[in-house]
Structure 1
Amino acid sequence: MELQTLYNEYLNIKFKRGLPPVRTKPFEYGLYADDSAGLFLTDHPEETFTNWMYELIPRDPHYISAPDWQPVLADVFQQMDIYDELVLYYLLFTLNTTLSVNSHNAYSTMNDFMKNYSFLQLSHLSEITRLNEEQKHQVRDFFFFYYLYAHPVNEETLYACSFDGQNLVHTKTDIPLERYFTAFHDHYSTNIKEYTEQIAIAPHDIQACKHLTLQLLQCIEGKLAKLNMPEEKGLEAVLRLINDVDQMLQLHDNNKPALFEMMKNFLKEARSTPYRDHCFTTLLQNYASYILFFRFDEIHALVEYFEDTPEWCRTIINKIFMDTIFMERILRQKRIDITTYPNVTQFFEDEAKRIYL
């Protein structure tokens, strides 16, 4: 099973696109009554990719005055202690929830978008050529931070990892996540008889979970071919720029009006479907993440283009600033005082004014 196929099915269910289900064995999606969906093991319809290891969570040493046990994989990773083991478990759980479809409230909707948007962009970065290596490292760290932050994870887990080249490593122990996750799955599939009360799936299912976990990790690390948003009639132009960041950057640098005209044409249609709206949000966040992140003053060109259609300008500006909290962090990192951009802030709606002004 290719990850792209499973990713397409995830988007099909998440945005109710109504496409026929495709073969994703050894996994398949199952729907819950609240419109959420779990990625189940085909041969074990009671177990999900996320929860098969639920009973394997390490004891939390933070609540015990003198913890006296060793990590399960202490013989393999001598540099790891029981606090590290718990963090690595949280990282594995976070990774495995990437393709879960959850029900949402207003707060969790934004977090869900930021996590999955960041995951998609991390898969694209290694193929982008119009950013230099330093720029790619900056946005990579930015996206990985929000991939974890929006899960959400605790602070210890949020800052536990760093990139060493293309490898994500647990910074304190210098253990590559790929090596740890491989050893984790191999240990439990090899010693399954010792864990019959905690594990309800077979060794070959654990290996299938390992394979998918490593694919998700390698996507984040940029070691696999990038994931693409699937095509849909009427969204060809938008999806072409989403799936090829270089093309968006080239169009912006060579012909800004053409990029803005694409945004205008989208708004002209006034047709709304969950997937269509998601694609437009993704395009605008790409504009923020790859252009305004490095050249914030480019926002003047956007505002000037839409000055004759203030309602559309208001829509775009508020989506850029309010659909995620990316712009808050960009302004802080770049030490940009948004109040010095009155041509932008004049379009802020009440909630944006409350947050930014």
Structure 2
Amino acid sequence: MKLQFLYNEYLNLKFNRGLPSTPIGGFAYGLLEDGGAALFFAERNDEAFVEWTYELQPRDAHYVAIPDWKPVLSDSFKQLDVYDELVFYYLLFTINATTSIAKINPYNAMNDFMKNYAFFQLSQLNGVTRLNEEQKLQLRDFFFFFYLYAHPVNEETLYAFSFRGQDLIHTKTNIHVEHYVTTYHDYYSEHLDKHKDQIFIAPPEIQACQDLMLELLRSIEGKSAKLEMPPEEGLEALLRLINDADGFMHMHSVDKTTLFGIMSDFLSDARSTPYRDHCFRMLLQNYACYVLYFEFEQIHHLVDYFKDTPVWCERMINSLFTDAIFMQKILRHHRIEIADYTNVIAFFNEEARRIYL
């Protein structure tokens, strides 16, 4: 399967784009009773991709004084304990759940946006050339943190994994996640009889799950072709900037007027669809993560350009600061007191003021 095809179909359903469905290997999306959607095996609609491991969740050793059992994969990973096993389970579930489409409500909207934004950006970073290696490492850790945080995972899982080069590893045991994923799927495929009351798919389907999960993991690690937001009429210039972080940073560096002009063109277009609005929100968060993360003072240029169109300026400033909590982390990381930026907070709405002031 080519992950881009799956991603296109995911966006098609998530934002009600109404485009014809495209083949995505042995899987197909199906609608759920709660209004969301999940990836199912194409030949059956009774088992979702993300659900096949539900019954395999390890016992939580935190509720036992002295755990008296071993991890399922202890023969393959001698250094693994029962606490590590549970953390791995949560990570694997989080990665698989990237394919699921939740019904959005006021309580999950921000996390849903942040997880999917972070996943997309993780696939971009390896090919970025306008950032040095240290800057790319900083952003990769930043995006991976929010990818997990927004799922959300528990605190133990949030801090259990790190990157070594492009490899995602379990920091405590030094187990490579890719190795764990292949061993995990191989084990259950080979011991299906032993777990027949917990697993309701056949070995070929387990193999298909492994292949898809490895594609998702390699995208997170930046080892595969970067994902792209699919085309939309009228969004050509904006999508070029989203799909090309180098081009975005270059334009901001040498020709801010053109960049801000593209933003103005979007805001002046009365057409509004979920996908169009999502793309603009992504562009603004790119401005936060690829520009303001490294040079927050650049925000003055944005405000100066748009201050004479206060409705637009207010929309962008509040989207930057309240669509995600990226800006909160950026401000804390650089010890920036936003109240000192009076020209910025002048455009804060009530929600932004409640959060930041």
Same fold (TM over 0.5): yes
List per-residue Cα deviations over 1:155-189 (Å, max 9, x = no partner). Answer: 00000001011000001100000000110000001
Matched, 1:91 2:91: yes
Equivalent pair of 1:40/1:49 in contact (CA under 8 Å): yes
Paired residues for 1:7-22 under 5 Å: 7-22=7-22
Q: Could you say which residue in structure 2 is the equivalent of 1:184?
A: 184
Q: Tell me by how many angstroms 1:32 deviates.
A: 1.7
Distance in 2 (alpha carbons) for counterparts of 1:79 and 1:32: 40
List per-residue Cα deviations over 1:114-146 (Å, max 9, x = no partner). Answer: 000000000000010001101000010000000
Distance in 1 (alpha carbons) for counterparts of 2:238 and 2:32: 31
Residue type of the alignment partner of 2:203? P
Distance in 1 (alpha carbons) for counterparts of 2:283 and 2:270: 17
Matched, 1:208 2:199: no
Distance in 1 (alpha carbons) for counterparts of 2:32 and 2:188: 29
Distance in 2 (alpha carbons) for counterparts of 1:356 and 1:67: 44
Residue type of the alignment partner of 1:48? A
Q: Tell me by how many angstroms 1:231 deviates.
A: 0.5
Q: Could you say which residue in structure 1 is the equivalent of 2:121?
A: 121
Q: Could you say which residue in structure 2 is the equivalent of 1:108?
A: 108
Q: Indicate the SS of the match to 2:39.
A: strand
Paired residues for 1:155-194 under 5 Å: 155-194=155-194
Residue type of the alignment partner of 1:100? S
Residue type of the alignment partner of 2:90? Y
Distance in 2 (alpha carbons) for counterparts of 1:218 and 1:68: 35
Equivalent pair of 1:44/1:201 in contact (CA under 8 Å): no
Deviates more, 1:61-70 or 1:243-252: 61-70
Paired residues for 1:236-315 under 5 Å: 236-315=236-315
Q: Could you say which residue in structure 1 is the equivalent of 2:321?
A: 321
Distance in 2 (alpha carbons) for counterparts of 1:9 and 1:42: 14
Distance in 1 (alpha carbons) for counterparts of 2:258 and 2:206: 49
Residue type of the alignment partner of 1:10? Y
Q: Could you say which residue in structure 2 is the equivalent of 1:354?
A: 354
Deviates more, 1:58-67 or 1:217-226: 58-67
Q: Tell me by how many angstroms 1:24 deviates.
A: 1.2
Q: Tell me by how many angstroms 1:278 deviates.
A: 0.4
Distance in 1 (alpha carbons) for counterparts of 2:117 and 2:279: 10
Distance in 2 (alpha carbons) for counterparts of 1:213 and 1:95: 7
* TM value normalised by structure 2: 0.99
Paired residues for 1:37-52 under 5 Å: 37-52=37-52
Q: Tell me by how many angstroms 1:107 deviates.
A: 2.4
Q: Indicate the SS of the match to 2:30.
A: strand
Residue type of the alignment partner of 1:232? E
Q: Could you say which residue in structure 1 is the equivalent of 2:26?
A: 26
Q: Indicate the SS of the match to 1:107.
A: coil
Residue type of the alignment partner of 1:131? L
Distance in 1 (alpha carbons) for counterparts of 2:25 and 2:117: 25
Q: Indicate the SS of the match to 2:220.
A: helix
Q: Tell me by how many angstroms 1:197 deviates.
A: 0.9
Distance in 1 (alpha carbons) for counterparts of 2:255 and 2:157: 42
Residue type of the alignment partner of 1:27? F
Q: Indicate the SS of the match to 1:270.
A: coil
Q: Tell me by how many angstroms 1:34 deviates.
A: 3.0
Q: Tell me by how many angstroms 1:99 deviates.
A: 1.2
Q: Tell me by how many angstroms 1:103 deviates.
A: 1.0
Q: Could you say which residue in structure 1 is the equivalent of 2:136?
A: 136
Q: Tell me by how many angstroms 1:13 deviates.
A: 0.3
Provide structure 2 residue ranges, at least 5 long, that are not aligned to the other structure.
none
Distance in 1 (alpha carbons) for counterparts of 2:93 and 2:310: 44
Paired residues for 1:64-83 under 5 Å: 64-83=64-83
Residue type of the alignment partner of 1:273? T
Matched residues, percent identical?
61
Residue type of the alignment partner of 1:325? I
* TM value normalised by structure 1: 0.99
Distance in 2 (alpha carbons) for counterparts of 1:44 and 1:85: 30
List per-residue Cα deviations over 1:238-269 (Å, max 9, x = no partner). Answer: 10000000000011011001000111110101
Equivalent pair of 1:123/1:219 in contact (CA under 8 Å): yes
Which runs of structure 1 show a deviation greater than 2 angstroms over 4 or more consecutive aligned residues? Answer: none
Residue type of the alignment partner of 1:280? F
Q: Tell me by how many angstroms 1:299 deviates.
A: 0.5
List per-residue Cα deviations over 1:263-298 (Å, max 9, x = no partner). Answer: 111010122100000000000000100000001000
Q: Could you say which residue in structure 1 is the equivalent of 2:226?
A: 226
Q: Indicate the SS of the match to 2:125.
A: helix
Q: Tell me by how many angstroms 1:23 deviates.
A: 1.0
Q: Tell me by how many angstroms 1:35 deviates.
A: 2.3
Distance in 2 (alpha carbons) for counterparts of 1:107 and 1:239: 28
| RMSD of Structure 2 on Structure 1 (CA) | 0.7
Q: Tell me by how many angstroms 1:44 deviates.
A: 3.0
